[in-house]
């Protein structure tokens, strides 16, 4: 299943990363992959560094990366070609977007890759990461590189020195991507500036937009459902009911919890009363998103699950059998929800302050899947209980999760 279902063309694109070490290429590749996978595009990252570590061990000194070291150069080329072979094989078996994560800093290397990729009938777009901000490089080395298996057991100052020597070797051979090499996106200082050259088509354009919004500053994202509504009490779907007494008590507890955390988040709610009522005791400005409204149950709106089962057994069975793609009559499917959440995701990526999202079960399942890189077919079943704050804090290549169940306080 692909997000591009319904669109005539088949998309098969190799996104080839380019850039010196410690320029955030892996971070970018993984974030792009997570985004595309969430949209239902069959996406995979091929990291050449992992091939090197698996095949010749992780403890290679900086001299291994010296462009004048013929053995090192041959070994690196061999690993690069192995990863490329695997990626091409994966495309042949139905892959849609492959991210080829390596430095690819010489024109000769890129030409070899491009020739093979094009010979397989695939599009190629180079994604080059350039960092002019020394602080970004330093923090990238300290936050990610020192934790690589390459430096296990090495004192941090020695590891930094070795990694800087490795970068210097690459710098000597580096040739930035030129306009005559084809389509590329050049990201400078993690989104401060972005150059898009010969970017055409739906998916590459979306990629540019995504990269424009990406940043690497860690900040937390908290997700919670609204407090219990009167419909939750009756097991009724949809509608626009108010909070129950227990739901109002949760809203009070949530406000106390947020105040105690010392964090002042941006607060996002849906347009529905139950999320706005949950946000009210926070006393913070909040923004309403129509895109955060609960899955539209169409003709089943305001029915109980038991009503649906007895009055519309075929609908009940169809949903049970394929909850991801099932669309309520005149309503939505989970896939529809995922697609309409895309602007929310882009705004979440762009935002640098902590965000508290107060929304609904189906919507939060979809957001959680994005943030935690869970497959689309898991989305309809992810547990997102009432009265629980899911606190997500970014770590190197993902998010750390803490679930805080809140007792309803005094109503």
Q: Please enumerate in sequence order all residues whose Cβ is within 8 A of that of 369, keeping only pairs 6 or more positions apart, or say none.
A: 38, 338, 375, 376, 378, 379, 382
Distance between CA atoms of 115 and 242, rounded to whole angstroms?
61
Dihedral, CA atoms, 338, 343, 344, 349, nearest 10 degrees?
110
C-beta separation of 275 from 358 below 8 A: yes
Active site residue 360: no
Catalytic residue chosen out of the listed positions 27, 66, 96, 101: 101
Nearest-approach distance from CB 342 to ligand F6P, in angstroms: 19
Q: Which of 226, 257, 360, 387 is catalytic?
A: 226
Numbers of helices and strands, H then E, in the chain: 15, 12
Give the phi and the psi of residue 218 in degrees, each rounded to 5: -70, 135
C-alpha to C-alpha distance for 93 and 126, rounded to whole angstroms? 23
Residue 357 near residue 224, CB atoms below 8 Å = yes
Q: Which residue has the tokens 């990366």?
A: 65
Nearer to ligand F6P, 237 or 335 (CB): 237
Binding region for ligand F6P (CB under 6 A): 232, 237-238, 294-295, 297, 360-362, 380
The residues, ordered by sequence, that sit 6+ positions from 42 with a Cβ below 8 Å of its Cβ are 2, 94, 95, 96, 97
Q: Is 101 a catalytic residue?
A: yes
Local structure of 132: helix, strand or coil: coil
Geometric angle at alpha carbon 279, from 276 and 282, rounded to 5°: 150
Question: In Å, what is the CA distance from 409 to each residue of 192, 245, 256, 387?
Answer: 44, 10, 9, 11
The smaller minimum CB distance to ligand F6P, of residues 15 and 297, is found at 297
Helix then strand then coil, in percent of the chain rounded to 5, is 50, 15, 35
Q: How many other C-beta atoms lie within 10 A of the C-beta of residue 231?
A: 18
Sign for the CA dihedral angle at 138, 140, 143, 148 comes to negative
The least CB distance from residue 138 to ligand F6P, in Å, is 46
Tokens of 115: 């020739």
Q: CB-wise, 277 or 294, nearer to ligand F6P?
A: 294
Smallest gap from Cβ 202 to ligand F6P, in A, equals: 29
Distance CA 105, CA 93 (A): 29
Instruction: Out of 131, 300, 342, 391, pick the active-site residue.
Output: 131
Active site residues: 101, 131, 226, 294
């Amino acid at each position: 299943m692909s997000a591009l279902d319904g669109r005539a063309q088949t998309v098969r694109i190799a996104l080839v990363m380019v850039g010196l070490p410690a320029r955030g290429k892996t971070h970018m590749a993984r974030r792009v992959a997570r985004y595309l996978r969430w949209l239902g595009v069959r996406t995979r990252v091929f990291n050449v560094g992992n091939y090197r570590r698996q095949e010749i061990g992780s403890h290679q000194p900086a001299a291994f990366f010296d462009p004048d070291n013929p053995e090192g150069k041959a070994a690196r080329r061999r690993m690069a070609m192995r990863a490329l072979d695997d990626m091409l094989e994966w495309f042949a078996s139905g892959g849609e977007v492959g991210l080829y994560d390596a430095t690819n800093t010489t024109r000769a290397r890129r030409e070899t890759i491009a020739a093979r990729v094009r010979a397989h009938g695939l599009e190629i777009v180079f994604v080059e990461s350039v960092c002019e901000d020394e602080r970004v490089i330093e923090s990238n080395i300290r936050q990610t590189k020192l934790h690589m298996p390459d430096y296990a057991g090495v004192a941090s100052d020695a590891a930094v020195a070795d990694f800087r020597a490795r970068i210097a070797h690459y710098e000597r051979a580096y040739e930035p991507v030129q306009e005559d090499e084809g389509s590329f996106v050049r990201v400078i200082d993690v989104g401060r500036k972005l150059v898009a050259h010969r970017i055409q088509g739906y998916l590459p354009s979306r990629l540019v937009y995504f990269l424009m919004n990406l940043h690497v500053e860690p900040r937390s994202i908290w997700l919670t459902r609204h407090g219990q509504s009167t419909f939750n009490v009756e097991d009724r779907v949809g509608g626009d009911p108010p909070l129950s007494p227990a739901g109002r008590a949760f809203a009070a507890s949530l406000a106390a919890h947020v105040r105690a955390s010392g964090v002042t988040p941006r607060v996002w709610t849906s347009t529905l009363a139950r999320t706005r009522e949950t946000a009210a005791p926070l006393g913070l400005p909040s923004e309403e998103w129509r895109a955060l409204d609960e899955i539209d149950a169409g003709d089943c709106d305001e029915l109980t699950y038991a009503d649906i089962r007895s009055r519309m057994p075929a609908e009940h069975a169809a949903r049970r059998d394929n909850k991801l793609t099932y669309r309520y009559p005149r309503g939505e499917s989970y896939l529809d929800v995922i697609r309409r959440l895309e602007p929310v995701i882009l705004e979440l990526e762009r935002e640098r302050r902590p965000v508290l999202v107060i929304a609904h079960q189906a919507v939060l399942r979809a957001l959680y899947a994005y943030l935690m890189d869970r497959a689309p077919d898991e989305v309809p079943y992810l547990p997102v209980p009432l009265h629980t704050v899911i606190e997500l804090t970014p770590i190197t290549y993902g998010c750390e999760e803490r679930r805080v169940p809140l007792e309803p306080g005094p109503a």
